[in-house]
Amino acid sequence: MQFQALLEEIVATLRPELGREGQVASYIPALARVPAAQFGIALRTCDGHEAQAGDSTTPFSIQSISKLFTLTLGMREMGETLWERIGREPSGNPFNSLVQLESEHGVPRNPFINAGAIAVTDRLVSLFDAKAEMLTLLSSLCEEPIRYDEEVAASEAATGFRNVAMANFMKSFGRIDNDVAAVLDAYFHHCAVRMSCAQLARAVGFLCRDGVHPATGQQLLTERQARRVNSLMLTCGTYDAAGEFAFRIGLPCKSGVGGGIVAVVPDRLTLCVWSPALESSGNSLLGMKALEMFTAKTGLSIF
């Protein structure tokens, strides 16, 4: 299949729509300054062929896409015990909602909402330097150094009132072991990783290869764990728009409020789209359109 030509066609079709609809995330001041009129797309097949178009090498804030890698580290280190403190059900609520936490005794619905990622991060902080470990994993998957955007991390720390509330609330139920400030410092940094579409398409490659690290050939997750990450992406990866994503796109996806979305076609390829303007649930508007075009034109879907 001519993926390069297809990605160029998608960029050419959607470019005229840039800046017309949606809003750049404004609740994190450092993200509010990102110019909306940018759009990139990149893919990598399981056997290592890459294609990319538009602003595919421009680094952006990966935000909640980091929750995928936080979960990967948690599953790799803890196996089944990870699920003692985190559920596996879609929340049907915004990613930063607190409402279910009270009646559900501080156990977040899933690892892909903020509360869930904070709970997984707490487990990682108990094991190692979670900030360093994240960069080690991402740099190894991308085969080049990956770094934090300290300005974004500081901006989140200064304004992340809901995340502070959530972490303290979970701590009050005895669900957070470590100092809340230390857990949030790691969480905010993870959200503030800077990567491009091309790097992200490569970094999630293990999810279309049954958990095998694309560069080293090592088993990062077991085949069963990789399948489970994909199923969680489908049901929970795009917050309260997960149903809409399954309906329109039909692929496991994980989004972030920086405007990036990664998607997996199991056993075939991984892709990443980026455009900063978001719809009301916090997913990239043009990113969703691009993925919809991609699946419509290729017929690739898990259904």
Ligand X SMILES: NC(=O)CC[C@H](N)C(=O)O
Query: Can you say which residues are annotated as belonging to the binding site for substrate?
Result: 64, 114, 156, 163, 187, 239, 257
Residue from 38, 29, 32 nearest 59 by CA = 38
Contact window for ligand X (CB under 6 A) among 38-46, 80-88, 119-127, 156-164: 156-164
Q: Which is nearer to ligand X, 114 or 196 (CB)?
A: 114
By CB under 6 A, residue 71 contacts ligand X: no
Please report how close the Cβ of residue 282 comes to ligand X at its closest, in angstroms.
5
Please report how close the Cβ of residue 264 comes to ligand X at its closest, in angstroms.
18
Residue from 194, 167, 263, 203 nearest 31 by CA = 194
Site for ligand X (CB under 6 A): which residue of 156, 171, 200, 254? 156
By CB under 6 A, residue 45 contacts ligand X: no
Is the Cβ–Cβ distance between 301 and 247 less than 8 Å?
A: no
**Distance between CA atoms of residues 176 and 116, nearest Å:** 11
Q: Which is nearer to ligand X, 146 or 212 (CB)?
A: 146
Q: Which is nearer to ligand X, 71 or 293 (CB)?
A: 71
**Distance between CA atoms of residues 148 and 214, nearest Å:** 23
Q: Scanning the structure block, which residue is given the tokens 């990102």? A: 34
* Alpha-carbon distances of 190 from 46, 52, 294, rounded to whole Å: 26, 25, 29
Q: Which is nearer to ligand X, 54 or 160 (CB)?
A: 160
By CB under 6 A, residue 257 contacts ligand X: yes
Q: Which two tokens stand for residue 235?
A: 């049901």
By CB under 6 A, residue 82 contacts ligand X: no
By CB under 6 A, residue 64 contacts ligand X: yes
Q: Which two tokens stand for residue 129?
A: 């330097």
By CB under 6 A, residue 114 contacts ligand X: yes
Residues 272-291 vs ligand X: string with x where CB under 6 A?
A: ----------x---------
By CB under 6 A, residue 205 contacts ligand X: no
**Distance between CA atoms of residues 104 and 25, nearest Å:** 29
Please report how close the Cβ of residue 286 comes to ligand X at its closest, in angstroms.
16
**Secondary structure class of 231 (helix, strand, coil):** helix
Binding residues: 64, 114, 156, 163, 187, 239, 257
By CB under 6 A, residue 97 contacts ligand X: no
Q: How far is CA 263 from the centre of its chain?
A: 9
* Alpha-carbon distances of 58 from 55, 135, 195, rounded to whole Å: 6, 18, 8
Q: Which is nearer to ligand X, 64 or 295 (CB)?
A: 64
Question: What is the CA angle 30-152-82, rounded to 5?
Answer: 130
Q: Please report, as ranges, the residues that interact with ligand X according to CB under 6 A.
A: 63-64, 95-96, 114, 156, 160, 163, 191, 256-257, 282
